[in-house]
Structure 1
Amino acid sequence: MKTELAPVAARDLQIIEYRGQRVVTTEQMAAGYGATEKMISNNFSRNQTRFVEGKHYFDVEGEELLTLKNSPSFRGAVDKRTPRLRLWTERGAANHAKMLETDQAWGYHEDLVDFYFTQRDAINAPAAQIPISRKELALMVIEAEERAEAAAIENKTLSVTVENLEKHFTKGMTLPAFCKALNGVNTSKITWWAFLRGWLYNEQPDPEKEPRWRVKSYARDKYLTEQDIQIKDVGKEPFTKKKVVLLLKGTHRLYQLYLKGELPMKATWNGEYSHDKAIYTPEVK
């Protein structure tokens, strides 16, 4: 089932800002994620504990909604008959992408982050601004400072890690080889995980035979690529085998998913997220 609204590229979305941050409507998000508004609403209802108003979404109604409907920035984005409007923040949109867990939802969410949420230019529409009390403004400033401080620490840690990963990344590295350096990851299941996530497909569906993994279009030249390997067995005709290898951006995405706890982990994992640089060190020739 698809929503009636045609999806709009994230970079072309009508810019909507509410209380100093960019937001999307349920209609916009559903269309981009390849879902329906009903699916979004049902996921919200079933997982309300994962959503916090003011952090993941805003509910607007009454006089405030009337003011928004009449503002230039909201014109055409909201049905005039809507009695209540729910606006989703970047974090709220991320929750829904995770719950839908489809290639389209993840892909569109990445585009939203890259081309919509991260471009926080102010909208030139003074009439659309909703009056905020001094107390609300002070709280917003404090929250913004706390978020900025936490983000700075997180980014500093992540940048050091990514730098290490890039320094020791070797061309032709496979998924299991990379994940050996990530503490606790079950490398025997990582290929199957990539298959379930839609990064790979099995070219050899016969369950009696070894799988022949290939890269799906969603991940091809984005996270993974393929290399031709010439196989020469004695007494047999030489043949070419496809080897799935990681791209540098793929290592970044894997590490991001690792920190989110979304990779398959060993039963003996000690609960610590860390990486071993020594495993990446190229062999001395």
Structure 2
Amino acid sequence: MKRKAFSPHDDVYIQYLRNMEKHDMPVQHYHDGYEIFLMLGGKRYLFYDNICFTLERGDMAVLRPFDIHYAQSRDAEYYERFVLNFSETALSALLSREELRLLREKLVPCVVHLNEEQTELMLDFFKRVNGYFEKSGFLSEKLQHTALIQLVMYVVECTQGEQTVGGRQIPAQIRTALTYINQHYRDNPGLEEIAGACNVNKYHLCHTFKEITGATVLEYLNNVRLSKAHSLLMDTGYSMEEIARETGFSSSLNLTRVFKKAYGMAPTQFRKRKESMR
């Protein structure tokens, strides 16, 4: 399976899955839109924001665009979930810029537990969105966007002031490595430098980092650099040279090579395609 840091979707992607076998993501990844993950049964382990969350029925994760995350089965043989990915473009058909800004402030990243009544109602919203996006015809697009906005607003309602699901902190040396990478990715640090910052042997760091996060140290570093480059392409008018400098690539040519390998197109092509969709 090809390992990619970026998992692209259309403006809206929704999927129900009941998996009776163990399954680990091939690599940590991110999306260019929001993700809402609703756990319906079994158990799933989510690595996000330096914490490993154990997700069971009623647990819901809300992730922002470009948030790097990773999920795995570990000891669990079964899990059932709904997942929804959507961009702000999907909401802009019915919401004004000011409404989108307010929603952005309220749709905060978190992992929360819903009670059974909330879980069933949230499931109904997911099913409704899924049903509308499987249909076409008269007013189907307006119904799709209306159902999506209703789901998102209920997510906001359920996450306001709720207690975060408990997760276990990852080992201190891995937290140090993640923090160091997130702070110094512009400098493109090497494995020896990262291990030195953690005061551990690089071989021990490599083994533990992969076991905990699902990615090698250098894969994670590259994922961070790519996610930052991706965000700058979408949200700024920076030149390729400026983006390369801001994200730790040695040159715009190096940025283009790595970006094209990950996304299947040059960054300039990617920017043009995104601009044409707005």
What TM-score range do you get, normalising by the shorter chain? under 0.3
With a CA cutoff of 8 Å and minimum separation of 6, indicate the structure with the bigger relative contact order.
Answer: 2
TM-score, length-scaled by structure 1? 0.23
More strand by share: 2
TM-score for the superposition, normalised by structure 2: 0.23
Q: Over alpha carbons, which structure has the higher Rg?
A: 1
